Amino acid sequence: MHHLFLLSTGAWIGIIAAAVIVVLLLAIVIWYIGCYNKLQRLKNRVEEGWSTIDVQLKKRYDLIPNLVETVKGYAKHESGTLEAVIRARGEAMNARGEEKMQAENVLSGTLKSLFALGEAYPELKANTNFLDLQNQLRSVETEIASARRYYNGTVKELNTCIDVFPSNLVARRMRLEKKVYFELDSAEEKNAPSVKF
């Protein structure tokens, strides 16, 4: 009888040990699924942020030809500046990834030189079409800055999860790579997020 009690105690210990192992495995699986889902959501938010920036950049691209045509009528001998803007626009439209960010910074610089012509040509500065295009572009630049902040915030969150333990284990299995921030090149542009007119 005492021998049966020991066997049943040993059996209970085995059952408890098995239950603990099952609970631990279940906890690991639940943690892994939660971590995977969080990383997937962050990845989707980064893609959404980039898509929002892309929409705003397309609006900017659409405004530029009208702006160049308006300036052309008043500043015909400024063809170098106008050609630089059109070239920068084309390069920005065709660029991808990190190159896109660099091309956008170049485009922002050429737009500043285009608007500087408004100061040199008072008739241009007084033109209602030019002023309307300036205001539209200012609005788009504000939207781009807002979209960039959102994108950079989600990139920071995703990159942190990719770097820190233990979520980095799941990120590695998902083959996630750190994303690049969409930053401005010059300190002057960093201090002034929208185009100055």
**Digit-coded pLDDT (tens) for 70-112:** 887 777 667 788 888 889 999 999 988 778 888 988 898 888 8
Band (pLDDT 50/70/90 cuts) for residue 188 is very low
Is pLDDT at 186 greater than 70 in this prediction?
no
What per-residue string of b and e applies to 1-15 under the rule 16 or more CB within 10 Å gives b? eeeeeeeeeeeeeee
Spatial contact of 151 and 47, defined as CB atoms under 8 Å apart = no
Residues 6+ apart with CB under 8 A from 163: 178
Average pLDDT in the 179-184 region? 84
Domain residue spans of the chain: 1-36, 49-191
Spatial contact of 152 and 72, defined as CB atoms under 8 Å apart = no
For residue 69 the two structure tokens come to 């045509």
**pLDDT in the model for residue 83:** 86
Query: How do the residues of the chain divide into helix, strand and coil, expressed in percent and rounded to 5?
Result: 85, 0, 15
Residues 6+ apart with CB under 8 A from 104: 57, 92, 95, 182
Total residues belonging to the chain: 197
Other residues' Cβ atoms within 10 Å of the Cβ of residue 193 = 14
For residue 41 the two structure tokens come to 């959501």
Band (pLDDT 50/70/90 cuts) for residue 185 is low
In one-letter notation, the amino acid at residue 96 is R
